[in-house]
Amino acid sequence: MHIKPFFVRLIVLIGLLVFSSSKSFAQQHSDAILGDWLGQKKDVCFRIYKKNDKYFGKVVWGTGKDSTDTKNPDPRLRNRKLVGAILLNDFVFDGTDSWQYGTIYDPAEGKTYSCKLSLTKDQKLKVRGYVGISLFGRTDYWTRIKKS
């Protein structure tokens, strides 16, 4: 049986369209956490942004205008302002519904924890910080701040 060149081209074209649209959907979904988030206590705003293929989060406002990182284990960083500090580092989208392999720094304790992020059905950001395995940790839920 001989397949006509037209059908071969059509099949290749359909395959390329399916592949590119699924990649585009994954890209859009992977960026779903980008933006500003209000911390669980509603006293801090975090901005999650993307650099290369990793996700980071920094303090945009809150914690007191002149709050410094007094409990940082690195003495050179104890005078840095918390507003502008990057507290979420190196998250990678897992291809489905979470961002993993990152860390979160807690300035109240001066400690860094493993962390994973995921979106809930009601579009809150589930922030799970833990030591060792995810079973041993704490979860906060952040609320997206909508741009006006």
Sign of CA dihedral 29, 34, 35, 37: positive
Residues 121 and 55 in one domain: yes
The answer to whether residues 53 and 7 belong to one domain is no
Q: CB–CB of 112/103 below 8 Å?
A: yes
List pLDDT tens digits, range 70-111. 999 999 999 999 999 999 999 999 988 899 999 999 999 999
Please indicate, yes or no, whether residues 97 and 134 belong to a single structural domain of this protein. yes
> Could you read off the pLDDT of 27-76 as tens digits, one per residue?
458 999 999 999 999 999 999 999 999 999 999 999 776 799 999 999 99
> Does one domain contain both 4 and 66?
no
**Domain containing residue 106: CATH number:** 2.40.128.520
Q: What pTM was estimated for this model as a whole?
A: 0.78
**CA–CA distance, 53 with 87 (Å, rounded to integer):** 17
Counting the structural domains of the chain, the total is 2
d(CA 52, CA 115): 19
Q: Which of 140, 76, 136, 87 is closest to 111 using CA atoms?
A: 87
